Amino acid sequence: MWRRRIFILTFSFALAAIFVAGCSSNSSNVFQGYIEGEYVYVASPLGGALTNLAVARGDEVKAGQLLFELERGSEAAAVQQAEKNLAQAKASLALSEAEYGRRQQLRNDQGVISAEELDQTRAQRDADQAQVESQTAALDKARWSFDQKQQFAPANAFVHDTLYRAGEWVAAGNPVVELLPPGNVKVRFFVPQAALPRIKPGQTVSVTFDGGPHAYPAIINYISTQAEFTPPVIYSQENRAKLVFMIEAKFSPAYAADLRPGQPVDVDLEPK
């Protein structure tokens, strides 16, 4: 993951430098950039052996589709035990409630039961009620742990990579599947500070690349507040012309299948 980030940062600076070197030959409305993807790393909060990897690199998955399953025999046993404990607690509560009702009736009708005896019966009923609540919480926790050993796709997505093989041990929190939802594909490009006044959030730009069948519209959603390529500290008129700023724009999910992260592109501020 860190290697990818270092590569992207290096690539960003390289593109910025290329832009500065070649800006005199470019159209004033066309800028260089690259496709970027925001990946979703799917992990289980619990560790275990990977027993079922239900997807492969390159698959298209739907929201709710099973991605992987970890060994969960101990969790299944814990659920069964919690269910048994809850059933016993409910049975005890039913008996104590019946006993409390009977003694309360005797107290009210015949007065043969003292107040202290009635209080003891009520206390037992309350304790059994608390035990039922405790066992219910324990069962919920056991079921949650059981469920977490299976992970499902949070949205429609492209399986960018799988990080483990069946049979390998997966530590808690370690991603097993790397997804790229179509809505997470975007373009990053760089413009000089002189072009910033012409760029606004929500603006539509046109993205093209070598061999592309047509231009792809994208909507600007982010404008960097800091320069991506910094010249010497003394900002002369010449140096200010070298400053470039990163812009991000997102595509419609319908276009994501044609775009690949890392792909170099040209961005036109004035779509034709």
Q: Higher pLDDT residue, 189 or 9?
A: 189
Looking at CATH, the fold of the domain delimited by 73-148 is given as Helix Hairpins (1.10.287)
The span from the CA of 31 to the CA of 208, in Å, is: 11
Distance of CA 50 to the CA centre of its chain: 20
Q: What is the pTM of this model?
A: 0.75
Tell me where in the chain the CATH 2.40.30.170 domain(s) lie: 2-39+182-268
Cβ atoms of 129 and 93 within 8 Å: the answer is yes
Tell me where in the chain the CATH 1.10.287 domain(s) lie: 73-148
Into which CATH architecture does domain 2-39+182-268 fall?
A: Beta Barrel (2.40)
In angstroms, what CA-CA distances link 53 with 56, 71, 118, 127, 159? 8, 11, 59, 45, 12
In angstroms, what CA-CA distances link 124 with 98, 100, 130, 138, 205? 11, 9, 10, 21, 72
The span from the CA of 50 to the CA of 194, in Å, is: 54
Main-chain dihedrals φ then ψ at residue 242, nearest 5 degrees: -90, -10
* pLDDT average, residue stretch 90-110: 85
Query: How high is the pLDDT of residue 5?
Result: 46
pLDDT at 105 over 90: no
Distance of CA 40 to the CA centre of its chain: 5
Main-chain dihedrals φ then ψ at residue 199, nearest 5 degrees: -120, 130
Q: Higher pLDDT residue, 187 or 243?
A: 187
> In this structure, what token pair is assigned to residue 40?
């979703």
Confidence of residue 9 (pLDDT cuts 50, 70, 90): very low
| Average pLDDT across the chain, whole number | 85
